[in-house]
């Protein structure tokens, strides 16, 4: 009996380490999009180890990763992150600075007030591909019905990934699945109700054909303090989408820690 118990403990410890391996490897990826996706997932966990990786990402060499980190800190609304957010106000990527200013403002810190005023007045230089590009794309979208579906897919990624959602590969291919953003939003809302019915419906959606939906479902299930969900989420660690793998790993860690956070 003792040998069997020890064996189960060893297996359990190895299993518990796997999600962290997925996340830490993702945060160290050479590809900046993968690093950004890993940081988004890490931002939902709220443990010292996860917080350390997110805070470090504010100084990452790639703007998408810095934006992911600032967006995560903004959602956490942790006052301990205020010093890091203040340093991000001077980021060379305008979207990062703006996101930091917005996060600080929402926490009652007016450090980014001047930046917000400059943006309002049109004096702040925007980085290539940010506001000006979005305006151009919006104008062309109104004249192209096919692009309307694509815009809906990007908006759907936005509520899961914040400003970073517009540039993530997770929305690729969603032009053929116009209802995916709606399904993802539904999963997010259902995750706010910790009842058996919502849990069962979310588990059924783990095999949804859309990576955007699978990300939303994994994140939602991470909010349930139910260790029985871990084996179900484990199946997503081999998902073809990096975003899904990272969010599933984060959800498993949240359940293991018994401290569900996030949406």
pLDDT tens digits, one per residue of 215-255: 999 999 999 989 999 999 999 999 999 999 999 999 999 99
Identify the pLDDT of residue 124.
58
Q: Domain range holding 223?
A: 2-257
- Report if residue 263 sits inside a domain: no
- Report if residue 262 sits inside a domain: no
pLDDT tens digits, 158-186: 667 766 665 566 666 555 677 788 888 88
- Report if residue 23 sits inside a domain: yes
Residue pair 181/152 in contact (Cβ under 8 Å)? The answer is: yes
Residue pair 115/97 in contact (Cβ under 8 Å)? The answer is: yes
pTM above 0.95, yes or no: no
- For the chain, what is the domain count? 1
């Amino acid at each position: 009996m003792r040998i069997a118990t020890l064996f189960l403990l060893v297996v359990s410890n190895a299993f518990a380490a796997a999600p962290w391996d997925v996340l830490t490897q993702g945060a160290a990826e050479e590809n900046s999009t993968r690093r950004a996706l890993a940081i988004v997932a890490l931002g939902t966990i709220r443990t010292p180890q996860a917080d350390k990786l997110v805070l470090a990402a504010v100084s990452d060499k790639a703007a998408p990763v810095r934006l992911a980190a600032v967006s995560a800190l903004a959602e956490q609304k942790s006052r301990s992150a205020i010093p890091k957010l203040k340093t991000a106000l001077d980021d060379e990527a305008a979207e990062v600075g703006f996101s930091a200013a917005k996060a600080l403002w929402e926490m009652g810190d007016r450090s980014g007030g001047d930046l917000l005023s400059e943006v309002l007045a049109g004096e702040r230089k925007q980085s290539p591909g940010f506001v000006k590009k979005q305006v151009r794309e919006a104008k062309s979208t109104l004249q192209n019905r096919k692009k309307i579906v694509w815009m809906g897919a990007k908006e759907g990624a936005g509520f899961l990934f914040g400003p970073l959602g517009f540039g993530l590969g997770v929305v690729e291919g969603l032009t053929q699945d116009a209802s995916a953003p709606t399904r993802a939003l539904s999963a997010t809302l259902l995750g706010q109700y910790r009842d058996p019915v919502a849990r069962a419906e979310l588990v059924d959606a783990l095999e949804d054909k859309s990576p955007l939906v699978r990300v939303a479902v994994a994140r939602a299930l991470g909010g349930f303090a139910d260790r029985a969900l871990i084996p179900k989420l484990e199946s997503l660690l081999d998902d073809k989408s990096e975003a899904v793998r990272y969010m599933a790993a984060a959800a498993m860690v949240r359940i293991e820690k018994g401290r569900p956070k996030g949406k």
